Structure 1
Amino acid sequence: MKLNGQRRWAATGVVVATTAATIAVALVAPPAGAAPGCRVDYTANNWGGGGFGASVKITNLGDAISGGWTLKFALPGSQRVAQGWSATWTQSGANVTAASMSWNGSLGTSASIDIGFNGSGAASGDVNPTTFTLNGTVCTGAPPTSTTTTTTTTTTTSNNPDPGNRVDNPYVGAKQYVNPDWAAKANAEPGGSRIANQPTAVWMDRIAAINGTPGARGLASHLDEAVRQAAGSPLTIQVVIYNLPGRDCAALASNGELKPTEIDRYKTEYIDPIAAILARPAYASLRIVTVVEIDSLPNLITNVTPRPTQTPQCDVMKANGNYVTGVGYALAKLGAVPNTYNYIDIGHHGWLGWDDNFGPSAELLFQAANASGSTKANVHGFVANTANYGILTEPNFSIDESINGTPVRQSKWVDWNRYTGELPYAQAFRQRAVQAGFDANVGMLIDTSRNGWGGTARPSGPGPRTSVDAYVDGGRLDRRIHLGNWCNQAGAGIGERPKAAPAAGVDAYVWIKPPGESDGASEEIPNNEGKGFDRMCDPTYTGNARNGNSMSGSLGNAPLAGHWFPAQLQELMRNAYPAL
């Protein structure tokens, strides 16, 4: 996990090589297509056994490049490129070439692109590359330096932002903020007092939410109340950053107010004001956890051409790059506030748990973490299962079991997924994120606000061993019709109460989605909030490719997303596990 006051670059006993090379030069009469000036920032992190990850930031200091770019450099020793991202990587001997891809071949003046790779063959004492060329032009200047750390030394590099007063885990030793607006609604419902004292996140789901909307206070008012609740003790407040252009491209119910191209409005009218409020000295004692843009980046992996789950809206957002740009900008601006802790959304195991989704998602998140002036140091961790229903663990069957010779993975419910719950998924994703280039200290959050699945329908043991489907279906705690169902699920229950450091690698179980707030309207409801009618919230809907053409499993008579839904709250309390 994390070390107090600083960011750990590698596990104890692992050789670490970290450099930042800043190089700039302008050459006269460069060859056609060359970059007359360039800078390269190269940072490598070794994680033992010869394996390492390298992030490479290219900045064009000359004329704009529009016909593609090629970066070349030599790796010392026996280092080899194993897997790269955001470029086409090749290696001949020591010489490495990274060529632009179809979507990032243009590089304007002063523009940067973040690429990287995972490698093998790193040895103690290896230095980093010292010469880089971009389109044949040498990026010269002060050569990079390297730092080698062995045994139990912890190393940080000069290009990391000052960690300020951040702690290892913002939930340990701290109170958590109870949202008075949500608590008042819960208290007004029969039995709601049993949960009204629980901490829930504050959602900034549109620009107007920053200053407050009818029935909901604004961000500064929440922070003022958090200071009051802290009463001089450490307190963690959770804020959901959720307003990307073209938001939630695969679900109409939570579409946002900003059009796909309105990235400038996102920056200046949404992120900048939020960052300015968080940075006020009055709030410097708070631990501010930001949950950054749920339901965004994973869509660029699973819901784009040529996937059968493709939507035209997600194709647009992949093509224009505004999800990556926006997330990077948010991480950079919010990460500059020394008492914030950014956690990026990673969907849930029923979304990204398959091999063709899992690794590519980690790579894409790393790209976003290094976009728009951000660096991976702005990422404190990741959050799983936000506003979803995935069970923490399934105790009645194992992913490694077979029934009558048929693997559990082959069952209709599991469908070759490698994970059957959010806890093993989150712990595995953490390791894969480190492999992609994130620091070894990142932590995980899991939203347990609606994944209890208790009540009379909760199985007490395994299903019959007559077939693999009977075995899994009879014993699974998650009683959804399909893992792809996400809207106002019938039979769901409140899960584990918010808890700090509940499992290895997990910073906390949290309630990011406040119980009792709708996922979306079950029928068309005109509104000025940019929220459409999604058939996945209609209990009569027979499904689509994203839920295996199954019934939606949704509750009826539901209001717009984010609006108060008393019937859902009663359902969640009735089926809570542990029971209320």
Structure 2
Amino acid sequence: MNLWRNLSGRRRAVALAGASALVAGGLVTIPVTAAQAATQCSVDYTTNDWPGGFTANITIKNLGDPVSSWNLGFTFPNGSQRVQQGWAAKFTQSGQNVTATNESWNGSLGSGASTSIGFNGAWSGSNPKPTSFTLNGVVCNGGTPTPSPSNPTPTPSNPTPTPTDPTPSPTGPTTPPGPKVDNPYLNAKGYVNPEWKAKAESVAGGNRVSNNPTAVWIDRIAAINGTPDSSSNGAMGVRDHLDEALRQGAKYIQFVIYNLPGRDCAALASNGELGPNELPKYKSDYIDPIAAIQGDAKYKDLRIINIIEIDSLPNLHTNTGGSPGATAMCDTVKANGAYINGVGYALAKLGAIGNVYNYVDAAHHGWIGWDSNFSPVAGIIKEAATASGSTVNHVHGFIVNTANYSALKEPYFKVTDTVNGQMVRQSKWVDWNFYVDELSFAQAFRNELVSKGFPNSIGMLIDTSRNGWGGTARPTGPGPMTDVNAYVDGSRIDRRIHAGNWCNQAGAGLGERPKAAPEPGIDAYVWVKPPGESDGSSKEIPNNEGKGFDRMCDPTYGGNARNGYSRTGSLDNAPISGAWFPAQFAQLMQNAYPPLS
């Protein structure tokens, strides 16, 4: 699974100094009047400030008639404020007056459509936000500031058109909804998948970890009833696993809901069976049957945890439009609403069942840790959570690092460290990211999601199935202080060649064992990706599961722009995604951290 995406923050970064802080900006909306019936707009202006500099992210929403081109105007309140480097628009500045003109690819804004632009800037003394904006010369009247995170009024960062879809919105639950516990993992025995357990114990030493709970992946329609002839997953279907969970006396069971139309639009190894226009089939043939089984009253005392559509919503920001990582498939599923409405429908249909807990995938720090991705992706997630009959109350929490390798904690360096006057953020490895590990990212992203309107009760999950990075290559202290790259490379426990490498990583190890409530804001460390299941084949392997060959799984590949043209670091002789890969499982046990006894 490709959990790395083009990180547009790289090309927007300049030599900055100081710590990051997300600051809510002005939300300005013009009322509909006869004099201004053609052009109305709202502008969401947010900044991330540091001493002497800032990044501004601006979302423009057209509330009037469609336009084929646009320019946005505003005035800096402070005469020292300057635009230095912009993106997604052509910026000009005269004195305190700034104009941003559309690029060729984002000039068209339909009624209700929006676009996001931004720039890096400099300031001295203070950095107040503009209070007045114009769109095509018409004032977006007001200057009303965006409420603080404790009382947010979010504006979706990348609204997606809602397609005409004859499939009705989800109806009520098959099991009457009841009160949910705050943390379904706490003081609860997890379900051990007997199929994974048998595979784990087929490898020497596997019995040391085979009793840990792992998630069951429902990655195609056939998997609902079981796929005995498949090379990946197993013969047991959803009802089989639920019945086995009851037999085990388990308190919770985890499923991965993973079959969106146009699935994994920026990768090939985990493409799915449904085309980008098959949203009705996703609803009727995939989500509805799963909901019917999970809603059976027989399972009402079992906490059913659904991990919702890994590797989907962040693509709508990082891999669409004019971004260097854009793909035709990602542009298609953004334009037709397949991801937004598919996720919304799944949340509403499954979340209406009283004993079901939905956790939405929220990528990882090495994908959306840049300020140019962080808040916009949270806005897209909010949009999906309120689409197709869903509300934020159908979301119990979020999961990060699913099927990825990012370290839980980096104990020997921090993002705020400096070496010879250079920040850690300037190192090649960190590449201007604001986070260096998953725990700090998960806690910060939780706060951002709450600021977008999700309940303060939401909890985060972190997939620790393969991010242990133990073994002889694990550092025991900070790296040399000779320069910032030597310091970071010598300090980091994440030993990947590049943080963008995601497929069957050589040297990886099992991470923290599944554990409830390990840190503030974290519901659990979980093993959602069953250790030993391949991320993708190291060469093309014909199959009937719709899974392609991605060169990022080829150990001989020299890389691409997404991973800095670095070697992939992938293991050789890997089978297709989801298939059992015993050599990988043996390596994960060997390099486990904490070590296995």
TM class by smaller structure: 0.7 to 0.9
Equivalent in the alignment of 1:394: 410
Indicate how the Cα distance of structure 1 residues 497 and 319 shifts in structure 2: closer, same or farther if over 3 A, else same: same
Establish whether residue 279 from structure 1 lines up as the match of residue 295 from structure 2.
yes
Corresponding residue of 2:313: 297
CA positional deviation for 1:118? 8.3
Matches for 1:258-337 after TM superposition, within 5 Å: 258-337=274-353
CA drift of 1:437 comes to: 1.3
Gaps of 5+ in 1: 1-49, 55-66, 73-81, 91-99, 107-116, 125-160
Which letter maps to 2:110? S
How is 1:222-241 mapped onto 2 (pairs within 5 angstroms)?
Answer: 222-230=241-249, 235-241=251-257
Which residue does 1:376 correspond to in 2?
392
The structural deviation recorded for 1:475 is 1.0
Q: Please report how far the alpha carbon of residue 85 of structure 1 lies from its aligned counterpart in structure 2 after TM superposition.
A: 7.2
Structure 2 partner of 1:186: 200
Report the counterpart of residue 188 of structure 2 in structure 1: 174
Aligned CA-pair RMSD: 2.9
Instruction: Tell me, in whole angstroms, the C-alpha distance in 2 between the residues paired with 1:533 and 1:52.
Output: 44
Q: Which amino acid aligns with 2:236?
A: R
Preserved CA contact (<8 Å) 1:401 1:407 = yes
Q: Which amino acid is 2:218 matched to?
A: M
1:119 counterpart residue number: 146
Q: Distance in 1 between matches of 2:388 and 2:295?
A: 20
Please tell me whether the aligned partners of residues 53 and 435 of structure 1 are also in contact (alpha carbons under 8 angstroms). Answer: no
What does the per-residue CA deviation read over 1:465-499, in whole Å, with 9 as the maximum and x for residues that have no partner?
A: 00000000011000001111000000000000000
Give the corresponding residue for 2:124. Answer: none
Q: Indicate how the Cα distance of structure 1 residues 265 and 173 shifts in structure 2: closer, same or farther if over 3 A, else same.
A: same
Establish whether residue 495 from structure 1 lines up as the match of residue 487 from structure 2. Answer: no
Q: Distance in 1 between matches of 2:113 and 2:592?
A: 52
Give CA-to-partner distance per residue, 1:361-420, whole Å, 9 cap, x none.
000000000000100110101000000000011111111110000001100000010000
Contact 2:177 2:352 in 1 (8 A): no
Given that 1:254 and 1:561 are in contact with CA atoms closer than 8 Å, whether structure 2 keeps it comes out as: yes
Counterpart for residue 137 of structure 1: none
* CA spacing shift, 1:104–1:524, aligned 2, 3 Å: farther
Q: Which amino acid aligns with 1:119?
A: T
CA shift digits 1:196-219 (9 cap, x unpaired) = 100000000000000001133000
In the alignment, is residue 213 of structure 1 matched against residue 227 of structure 2?
yes
CA-CA distance at 1:70 after TM superposition: 7.4
Q: Please state if 1:102 is matched with 2:116.
A: no
Task: Tell me whether 1:197 sits opposite 2:211 in the alignment.
Answer: yes
Question: TM-score with structure 2 length normalisation?
Answer: 0.72
Residue matched to 1:539: 555
Q: 1:238-260: per-residue Cα shift (whole Å, max 9, x none)?
A: 10000000000111000000001
Return the alpha-carbon distance in structure 2 between the equivalents of residues 123 and 512 of structure 1: 32
| SS class of match (2:450) | helix
- Stretches of 4+ moved more than 6 A in 1? 50-54, 67-72, 82-86, 121-124
CA shift digits 1:301-323 (9 cap, x unpaired): 11112111112211111111100
Alpha-carbon distance in structure 2 between the residues aligned to 1:531 and 1:463: 40
**Runs of at least 5 residues in structure 2 that lack an aligned partner in the other structure:** 1-22, 28-36, 43-55, 65-107, 115-143, 152-174, 229-233
SS at match of 1:500: strand
TM-score for both structures, normalised by structure 1: 0.74
- Structure 1 pair 235–412 and aligned structure 2 pair: CA distance change class (3 A): same
Distance 1:408 1:273, change over 3 A: same
Paired residues of 1:86 and 1:101 also in contact (CA < 8 A): no
Where 2:436 maps in the other structure, the secondary structure is coil
Query: CA distance change for structure 1 residues 209 and 123 in 2, over 3 Å: closer, same or farther?
Result: closer
- Whether contact under 8 Å (2:62, 2:111) holds in the other structure is no
Q: Deviations over 1:36-76 (max 9, x none)?
A: xxxxxxxxxxxxxx99999xxxxxxxxxxxx999799xxxx
Higher relative contact order (CA closer than 8 Å, sequence separation 6+): 2
Amino acid of the structure 1 residue aligned with 2:315: N
Which residue in the other structure is 1:25 paired with?
none
Equivalent residues of 1:362, 1:433 under 8 A apart? yes
Determine which of 452, 460, 470 is the counterpart of 1:436: 452
One-letter amino acid of the counterpart of residue 147, structure 2: S
Contact 1:103 1:319 (8 Å CA) reproduced: no
In the alignment, is residue 422 of structure 1 matched against residue 420 of structure 2? no
CA distance in 1, matches of 2:38, 2:342: 23
On the 8 A contact 2:223/2:237 being kept in 1, the answer is yes
CA drift of 1:164 comes to 1.3
| Alignment check: 8 A CA contact 2:149 2:452 kept | no
AA in 1 matched with 2:191: Y
Contact 1:52 1:122 (8 Å CA) reproduced = no
Deviations 1:305-344 (A, max 9, x none): 2111112211111111100010000000000101111110
Partner secondary structure for residue 546 of structure 1? helix
Query: Is 1:511 aligned to 2:538, yes or no?
Result: no
User: Is the deviation greater in 305-314 or in 365-374?
Assistant: 305-314
**Per the alignment, in what secondary structure is the counterpart of residue 146 of structure 2?**
strand
Who is 2:94 aligned against?
Answer: none
